[in-house]
Amino acid sequence: MKCLWHLCSKEASVRDNGKFCCSRCKNRYYVTKRRKDLKKALVEYKGGRCEKCGYNKCIAAMDFHHKDPKEKEFALSQRGLTKSLEILKKRSR
């Protein structure tokens, strides 16, 4: 079985139940999964679609923008998705 990290082409090791080839791939997989899950939860929290045009097809194509850029504390695309869902919800109002 191949490693679950999509950018790795190595065979998974017996360690970690045969899912990953190394701890680095395991970490990358779960960090990416958490960020995608948080983004999905935030999009649903904000109504599941773009507030301006109503777009709702591909979540990867959606971004969050501040109404007042001066109030911006962090960018979701950079380090923001490592914060808790409650903090992200407060910042996205």
Residue 61 domain-assigned (yes or no): yes
Residue 44 domain-assigned (yes or no): yes
Residue 10 domain-assigned (yes or no): no
Region of 72 on the Ramachandran plot (φ > 0 left; ψ -120 to 50 alpha; else beta): beta
Question: Which residue segment(s) compose the domain that 67 sits in?
Answer: 15-91
Enter the pTM of the model.
0.67
Read off the pLDDT of residues 53-89 as tens digits, 9 standing for 90 and up. Answer: 889 998 888 877 666 666 655 555 555 456 677 776 6
Residue 7 domain-assigned (yes or no): no
Total number of domains constituting the chain: 1
Look up residue 50 and give its two tokens.
């773009």
Residue 8 domain-assigned (yes or no): no
- CA quadruple 81, 84, 5, 28: dihedral positive or negative? positive
Read off the pLDDT of residues 15-53 as tens digits, 9 standing for 90 and up. Answer: 667 788 888 888 888 888 888 888 888 888 888 888 888
Residue 37 domain-assigned (yes or no): yes
Distances (CA, A) of 22 to 6, 28, 34, 79: 13, 10, 19, 24
Residue 4 domain-assigned (yes or no): no
Residue 68 domain-assigned (yes or no): yes
